[in-house]
Amino acid sequence: MPRGEKRVPRLLCSNNPMPRYYRLVIWTASYPEPTKINHGMEMEAISITKEPLFIFGYEERSKYPEDQRIMDQKYEAGFIFGRWFSSICTDGELGFHHRSELTEIKEYEFKAWKRMVTP
């Protein structure tokens, strides 16, 4: 690592076994056509509603050791790997979101939201 550069801390590691919880809002109405968003990651936002899409999630580690190198690179670039839930995807899906787009929330906030949208 170049001198003077800060290392992005691993948020979910052996020293911190508890996951962190996050919220993200995507204003899908501002994407009239499928659009690549999320800092160049392969993610498409499709305008399905004029309302904001609230996404809640928590950090998760991959269960595959061979994924660790890729995950470390993504963490260095500011991405958090997690399981993300929304009113559209109530079962949650795995993926990355950039730290700059996330707001950290408490576990009870995540659980309360999940109870509201889970069928």
Over residues 41-100, the pLDDT tens digits come to 445 445 455 677 888 999 988 888 888 888 888 989 999 999 999 888 888 888 899 999
Specify if 86 maps to a domain.
yes
Q: How far, in Å, CA of 107 to CA of 70, rounded?
A: 27
pTM of the prediction?
0.68
Specify if 113 maps to a domain.
yes
Specify if 78 maps to a domain.
yes
Specify if 4 maps to a domain.
no
- How many domains, in total, are found in the chain? 1
Give the domain range for residue 68: 21-117
Q: Mind listing the pLDDT tens digit for each residue in 21-33?
A: 999 887 766 555 5
| C-alpha 97, offset from chain centre | 4
Specify if 75 maps to a domain.
yes
Q: Which residue has the higher pLDDT, 17 or 89?
A: 89
Specify if 13 maps to a domain.
no
Specify if 54 maps to a domain.
yes
Specify if 53 maps to a domain.
yes
